[in-house]
């Protein structure tokens, strides 16, 4: 089984503009120790981690012992490290990948198109795409699945994602939300200014989680099991309907909504913006759009398989 911990998850500007907590290196190591404790409860467990330059893998390997193996990191930099780590862990033959980070981390894991199931453990700012229970249980569940004997469809679900194509360098995906932002720069990436949001496409809309999906959750909740999504056209302040939205932990702002409508699974939606701007994927601005650019988006159930610890740990009636 593979363990991927994003060292930079949970450290963006929302610690300054909102009240998001800091997921420090010490916090990440404690989460990893809880995961490993759960994994160790299953006989013959072996774990692989990428030998990150931050030293998390080296520290944990020294503490845990010979059943935690280290894999060379590679040459990727910045956000490209997470997809590369995903591929490296698959290359050594892991049967399940535990990824610790927020929605951005899970998006980058999904971008690598993993062929093994993923257990996405919350460790970021907005954790809509993540499992938010105790890491000890998550580690035990991952190890039980890796031990074999469980049918994937009994203990996991194929997740939705938003596929983005058109005038972008390469096809992109988002697991929770895609936003057109009225800014022609990525800046600090995180989106916390409601007046900057022009339109949203949501695969999930949850009124009880922070982020842009929170807006959709107050209009028409869309759960991870619903085959479809939501489109929201936002207006400038003072126009349309104001919807109080939890944009980040501790940050509530009104977002003005012009209209919204459900999106059928697989239905293509064109976004063509004469003034350009940026596309934010799962709450972070990544793609700069030139004036007049057009992109085509659709919600699909073609993402990776996400393990659900509650189903793994429950007594099995249909196991092979």
- Where do the domains of the chain lie, and which CATH numbers do they carry? 2-159+303-313 (3.40.50), 161-300 (2.60.200.30)
In angstroms, what CA-CA distances link 126 with 211, 291, 298? 6, 30, 22
N-terminal to C-terminal alpha carbon distance within the chain: 20
Q: What are phi and psi of 9, to 5 degrees?
A: -65, 140
272: β partners = 294
Instruction: Say if strands 197-202 and 228-234 run parallel, antiparallel, or are unpaired.
Output: antiparallel
pLDDT of residue 320: 46
Give the global pTM: 0.94
Instruction: Say if strands 161-166 and 294-300 run parallel, antiparallel, or are unpaired.
Output: antiparallel
pLDDT of residue 316: 72
Whole-angstrom distance, CA of residue 209 vs CA of residue 189:
19
For residue 152, give both structure tokens. 């994937």
Whole-angstrom distance, CA of residue 94 vs CA of residue 47:
8
- Sign of the C-alpha dihedral computed for residues 140, 145, 150 and 151 taken in this order: positive
3-state SS track over the chain? CEEEECCCCCCCCHHHHCCCCCCCHHHHHHHHHHHHHHHHCCCCCCEEEECCCCCHHHHHHHHHCCCEEEECCCCCCHHHHHHHHHHHHHHCCCCCEEEEECHHHHHHHHHCCCCCCEEEEECCCCCCCCECCCHHHHHHHHHHHHCCCCCHHHHEEECCEEEEEECCCCCEEECCEEEEECCCCCCCCECCCHHHEEEEEECCECCCCCCCHHHHHHHCCECCCCCEEEEEEECCCCCCEEEEEEEECCEEEEEEEEEEEEEECCCCEEEECCCCEEEEECCEEEEEECCCCEEEEEEECCCCEEECHHHHHCCCCCCC
Whole-angstrom distance, CA of residue 42 vs CA of residue 257:
50
Whole-angstrom distance, CA of residue 284 vs CA of residue 278:
10
Reference 111, options 175, 205, 189, 51; nearest CA is 175
From first to last of the 320 residues of the chain, give the pLDDT tens digit: 999 999 888 888 888 888 988 888 899 999 999 999 999 999 999 999 999 988 999 999 999 999 999 999 988 998 899 999 999 999 999 999 999 999 999 999 999 999 999 999 999 998 999 999 999 999 999 999 999 999 999 999 999 999 999 878 778 999 999 999 998 888 888 898 999 999 999 999 999 999 999 999 999 999 999 999 999 999 999 999 999 999 999 999 999 999 999 999 999 999 887 778 999 999 998 889 888 888 999 999 999 999 999 999 998 765 44
Please, are residues 143 and 39 in contact by the beta-carbon 8 Å criterion? Answer: yes
């Amino acid at each position: 089984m593979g363990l991927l911990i994003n060292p930079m998850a949970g450290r963006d500007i929302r610690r300054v503009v909102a009240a998001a907590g800091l997921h420090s290196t010490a916090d990440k190591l404690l989460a990893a120790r809880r995961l490993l404790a759960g994994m160790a409860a299953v006989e013959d467990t072996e774990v692989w981690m990428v030998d990150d330059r931050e030293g998390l893998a080296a520290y944990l390997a020294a503490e845990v012992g010979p059943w935690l193996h280290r894999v060379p990191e590679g040459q990727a930099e910045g956000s490209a490290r997470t997809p590369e780590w995903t591929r490296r862990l698959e290359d050594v033959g892991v049967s399940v990948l535990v990824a610790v980070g927020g929605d951005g981390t899970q998006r980058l894991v999904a971008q690598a198109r993993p062929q093994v199931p993923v257990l996405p453990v919350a460790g970021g700012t907005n954790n809509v795409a993540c499992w938010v229970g105790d890491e000890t249980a998550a580690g035990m569940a991952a190890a039980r699945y890796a031990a074999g004997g469980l049918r994937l469809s009994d203990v996991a679900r194929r997740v939705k994602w938003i596929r983005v194509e058109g005038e972008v360098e390469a096809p992109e995906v988002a697991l929770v939300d895609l936003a057109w932002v009225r800014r022609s720069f990525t800046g600090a990436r995180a989106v916390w200014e409601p007046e900057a949001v022009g339109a949203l496409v949501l695969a999930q809309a949850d009124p009880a989680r922070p982020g842009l999906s929170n807006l959709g959750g107050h209009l028409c909740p869309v759960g991870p099991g619903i085959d479809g999504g939501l489109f929201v056209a936002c207006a400038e302040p003072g126009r349309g309907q104001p919807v109080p939205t939890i944009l980040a932990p501790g940050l509530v702002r009104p977002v003005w909504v012009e209209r919204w409508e459900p999106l059928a699974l697989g239905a293509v939606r064109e976004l063509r913006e004469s003034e350009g701007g940026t596309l934010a994927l799962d709450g972070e601005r990544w793609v700069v759009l030139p004036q007049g650019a057009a992109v085509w988006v659709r919600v699909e159930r073609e993402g990776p398989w996400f393990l659900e610890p509650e189903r793994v740990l429950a007594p099995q009636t249909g196991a092979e």
